């Protein structure tokens, strides 16, 4: 009987132990435990960038966060990103350079932000840095900024 109780406890505890996950404290005023945002900011940035790579600017705009929507129309976003990306040619490679997490950004309300930088290369530009800024919004990461240098 003792082994059965031990087995039941092992089954209940095993997923958290196997992942080595520690749960962050809940946000002030939150009810219940905090949960991880999925996908991670770097994965969300890659998903969004794949839309830009494909020239699907309308969908990239649609999936962007309110901050981006408040700063540009869908047409102006498509024109600006298209004018920036078209001369670079096709995407050749993209590797994560840096991920920074912060609670503040200049000119923004306090929140949870991620800045993801990629070392990228394109058909007509061998070395570039793409920067994607995301905000935690309604339990997911939303893109609010994009820059290539």
Q: What is the pLDDT of residues 94-135, one digit of tens each?
A: 999 999 999 988 888 889 999 999 999 999 999 999 999 999
Position 27 scores a pLDDT of: 43
Q: Are 93 and 77 in contact, with CB atoms under 8 Å apart?
A: no
Average pLDDT over residues 24-37: 45
Distance in angstroms (rounded) separating the CA atoms of residues 128 and 122 = 8
Query: What is the rounded average pLDDT of the residues 2-27?
Result: 35
Query: Considering the domain 38-148, what is its CATH architecture?
Result: Roll (3.10)
Per-residue confidence at 17, pLDDT binned at 50, 70, 90? very low
d(C-alpha 26, C-alpha 22), whole Å? 12
Closest CA to 105 of 77, 145, 62, 69: 145
Q: What pLDDT does 19 receive?
A: 40
Q: What is the mean pLDDT of residues 40-56?
A: 96
Smallest CA-to-CA distance from 122 within 82, 81, 85 is with 85
Query: For the chain, what are the domain ranges?
Result: 38-148
Residue whose C-alpha is closest to residue 59's, from 70, 69, 71, 48: 48
Mean pLDDT of 72-77: 96
Average pLDDT over residues 27-38: 47
């Amino acid at each position: 009987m003792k082994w059965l109780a031990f087995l039941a406890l092992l089954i209940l505890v095993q997923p958290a132990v196997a992942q080595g996950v520690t749960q962050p404290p809940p946000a002030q005023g939150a009810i219940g435990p905090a949960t991880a945002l999925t996908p991670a900011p770097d994965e969300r940035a890659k998903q969004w960038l794949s839309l830009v790579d494909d020239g699907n600017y309308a969908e990239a705009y649609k999936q962007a966060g309110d901050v981006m929507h408040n700063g540009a129309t869908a047409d102006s976003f498509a024109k600006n990103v298209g004018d920036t990306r078209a001369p670079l040619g096709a995407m050749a490679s993209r590797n994560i350079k840096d991920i920074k997490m912060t609670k503040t950004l200049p000119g923004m309300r306090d929140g949870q932000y991620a800045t993801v930088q990629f070392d990228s290369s394109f058909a007509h530009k061998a070395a570039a840095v793409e920067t994607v800024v995301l905000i935690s919004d309604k339990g997911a990461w939303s893109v609010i900024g994009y820059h290539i240098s």
